[in-house]
Structure 1
């Protein structure tokens, strides 16, 4: 289960860490695009398996930002 970038931009801040549990709707990353901060929320609950894109990295729309393991 992946959290993907809704648009192209730069990862400004990662708000979660591997092993952390997240809830549906919780913000996990903030992107910066065209001088605006865009929060990206998890669409489902789970546990962070990996941070795929780190702070300062450029991402294209649809790229995976965070990988989540499904909630039990």
Structure 2
């Protein structure tokens, strides 16, 4: 069981890093024009991608914390 959870933890950490990198890339692709545009037009494509990747990163981090908590509970 601990081996399985360790593998799941590694996969979740990889997903956290992947979503973090994609969010940073989307942030870097945001142009000055995107930042200065009128808010009434709504969010730009890169801003939506940043939000999507931030939510994904938080979700994967929460799952990783749950896996670590389970591993600690099993260890005791």
TM-score class, shorter-chain normalisation, is under 0.3
More helix by share: 2
Task: Name which one, 1 or 2, has greater alpha-carbon Rg.
Answer: 2
If asked which structure has higher relative contact order (CA below 8 Å, sep 6+), I would say: 2
Q: TM-score, normalised by structure 1?
A: 0.21
